[in-house]
Amino acid sequence: MMGIEFPPAWILWGGTALLPLLPRRLRPAACCVFPAAALALVLALPIGASFRLSFGPYELLVLEFSRLGRVFAIIFALIATLGGIYSLHLRETGQQGAALLYAGGALGVACGGDLFTLLFCWEVMTAGSTWLIWARRDRESREAGMRYLLYHLFGGGLLMSGILLHFKQTGSLALVAFASEAATPAAWLILAGVVINAAMVPLHTWLPDSYPRATVTGAVFLSAFTTKAAVYVLAVLFPGWPVLLVMGTVMTVYGVIYAFLADDIREILSYHIVSQVGYMVAGVGIGTELALNGSAAHAYSHILYKALLFMGAGAVLQATGTGKLHRLGGLYPELKGAFIFYMVGALSISGAPLFNGFISKSIIVYAAHEGGHGIAHLFLLLAGVGTFLSVGVKLPYFTWFHEKKEPLPRRPLPGGMMAAMALTSFLCLAYGVFPDALYRELPFAMNYRPYTALHLSEAVQILVFTFLAFWWMRAKLVPHDLISLDTDWCFRAPAPWVRRVAVDGVNAVFDAADRLAFAFARRVAELSVHPLAAIRSLGRPERPFDPHLDRPPLSLPIGLTLLVTVVAAVWVLAR
């Protein structure tokens, strides 16, 4: 058993390095084999397994396998495998390598045992995910990718500052939970860095800005790793922090409101990541064993159904070339399979019974009720209404069943896409029907049962009445090509003025300094070559300088020589 105790992330990073050396026809299959090997290693690792690595004077715990980390490591490796199957048609080594690099970073976060390893894997995730956005190679993806990168570099900087300050104060890099009652500046800095990756409102705009502009396959990986790795870190370092309960509750409602207003199908799903991650953050904020189990379980379920939803949206984009609701409609005859698989994900995220979202989301809702957090409990229930309204009803109706808006191309879907959607759909249903398959992996023992009369009636009422409300109002909910202003307006609106002052103004000062420096250098050069010509040019003579006509009389240099000689002699005699 000791021989297998090394970080699973290394398998994926090794795959990234080996991928360009493999024959091109084998690379798509290798992108499934490497994650599958990492998954096999994760399943084989015993709880408590560790691997230490020397780094200068420090000893890093690059593997410390905990029960909570195992839950996240299993789903990270599993979804990387399913994403590889979905991408079997892809022939771009850059995207394939970036996906493996990104997934390896997430696995490193889940399996690492010290703050330095966490920081390193955090930045590896940033590098891989940014490439998956830029890989679409158009102007929108380049600009969105740059904004994404700046956000995450800022968050990484805060995280590193907090870690360095914490190390200076304690001399320890261990991953140990911070107490909210005695929070240090280092803890707050680390928390600030982590919540950016968790897409916490108002620092969330990087997510709906960048994910819809990623590649079709890249968005599947993006939906799985960054925010859920942040949830894992929050659960390890900040359990029971009240601020997380407040912020998570806000996220659940905020995300569904903006999702309902969005027009792009992947933007709708992106805002719902904000909302669903809000449930997990709220569970961490509650901090009880039941709530932490709920956050871990919901992260597991969310990765499956959200990847499935992005697979379905990607299938629409792959087949038609657009993801705008106001342009889509009438796709059901051509994309029946994609619709069926998408609806499995939609019912899962909506918390429908027999689907995996029901067996995980309800744990957090129940934990809020049990903990006496009445307002949070109410908003968590209301967010479920908005989720089903936009993802479960509005999006599929206007994509697959509403009348056609315009003729769109119909490209066939690759077999790998359909196979990945089928496998992911099976898992969503399997965990929904057999919840103990997930529950026994959770970090704490619990007696929670999802299929009670109360939970079932609550879920059915939300689904039925939400559907009836949509059907009654559907004529007024036809999508339009609109842009909803989000909190990023606060820095986009003043951007031209800031650029004029901070960029154009500074450039103008430097340009002026350059011109003055070059003018001075030219004058000095002219004075050195032709002193009299330079002096005469100051008076702007009517004719140009002529060295024969304007040369000084011989008496001038003789007189200057005598003057210098006399002054020197007087100075010597005076001494």
pLDDT digits (tens, 9 = 90+) for 133-171: 999 999 999 999 999 999 999 999 999 999 999 999 998
pLDDT of residue 1: 40
Please report the pLDDT score of residue 504 as a whole number: 85
Q: What angle, rounded to 10 degrees, do the helices at 139-170 and 115-134 form?
A: 180
Cβ atoms of residues 308 and 425 within 8 Å = yes
Question: What per-residue confidence (pLDDT) applies to 481?
Answer: 79
* Range with lowest mean pLDDT among 147-151, 182-186, 287-291: 182-186
Q: Of the given ranges (404-408, 478-482, 485-489), which has the lowest mean pLDDT?
A: 404-408
Between 32-36, 216-220, 519-523, the lowest mean confidence (pLDDT) is in 519-523
C-alpha torsion 116→81→344→315, nearest 10: 110
Average pLDDT over residues 499-523: 86
Give 228's contacts (C-beta < 8 A, 6+ positions apart).
Answer: 72, 75, 76, 106, 277, 280, 299, 302, 303
| pLDDT, position 484 | 77
pLDDT at 526 over 80: no
Q: Residue 220: pLDDT above 80?
A: yes
Q: Name the percent of the chain lying above pLDDT 90.
A: 71
Q: pLDDT per residue over 258-267, tens digit each?
A: 999 999 999 9
Model-level pTM?
0.87
Maximum CA extent, the chain: 119
User: Hey, how many other C-beta atoms are within 10 angstroms of the C-beta on 277?
Assistant: 31
* Statement: residue 574 has pLDDT above 90: no
Q: pLDDT of 74-121, one tens digit each?
A: 999 999 999 999 999 999 999 999 999 999 999 999 999 999 999 999
Q: Which H helix or E strand runs over 64? A: strand 58-64
In terms of average pLDDT, the best of 232-241, 375-384, 454-463, 529-538 is 232-241
Residue 327 clears pLDDT 60, i.e. is over it: yes
pLDDT value at residue 119: 96
Q: How confident is the model at residue 552 (pLDDT cuts 50, 70, 90)?
A: low
What angle, 0 to 180 degrees and rounded to 10, lies between the N-to-C axes of helices 289-320 and 226-237? 170
Residue 172 neighbours by CB under 8 Å, 6+ apart: 166
User: Using CB atoms within 10 A of its CB, is residue 511 exposed (0-12), middle (13-18) or buried (19+)?
Assistant: exposed
In angstroms, the CA 391 to CA 381 distance is 16
Angle (nearest 5°) at CA 490 between 485 and 495: 110
- Of all residues in the chain, the percent with pLDDT exceeding 70 is 94
User: Looking at per-residue confidence, does 335 or 409 come out higher?
Assistant: 335
Q: What is the pLDDT of residue 529?
A: 64
User: Is 50 exceeded by the pLDDT of residue 25?
Assistant: yes
The 10s digit of each residue's pLDDT in 422-479 is 999 999 999 999 999 999 999 999 989 999 998 899 899 999 999 999 999 888 888 8
**Is the pLDDT at 180 greater than 90, yes or no?**
no
Report the chain's mean pLDDT, rounded to a whole number: 90
Q: How far is Cα 203 from Cα 233, in angstroms, rounded to an integer?
A: 17
In contact, 308 and 345? CB cutoff 8 Å: yes
What SS3 class is residue 520? helix
Q: Report helix, strand and coil shares of the chain as percent, to nearest 5.
A: 70, 5, 25
Asked if 106 contacts 229 with a C-beta cutoff of 8 angstroms, the reply is yes
- Asked if pLDDT for residue 542 goes beyond 60, the answer is no
- Whether residue 532 is predicted with pLDDT greater than 70 in this model: the reply is no
Say which range, 30-34, 321-325, 464-468, 495-499, has the weakest mean pLDDT. Answer: 495-499
Question: How far is CA 254 from its chain centroid?
Answer: 18
The two structure tokens encoding residue 509: 């000062």
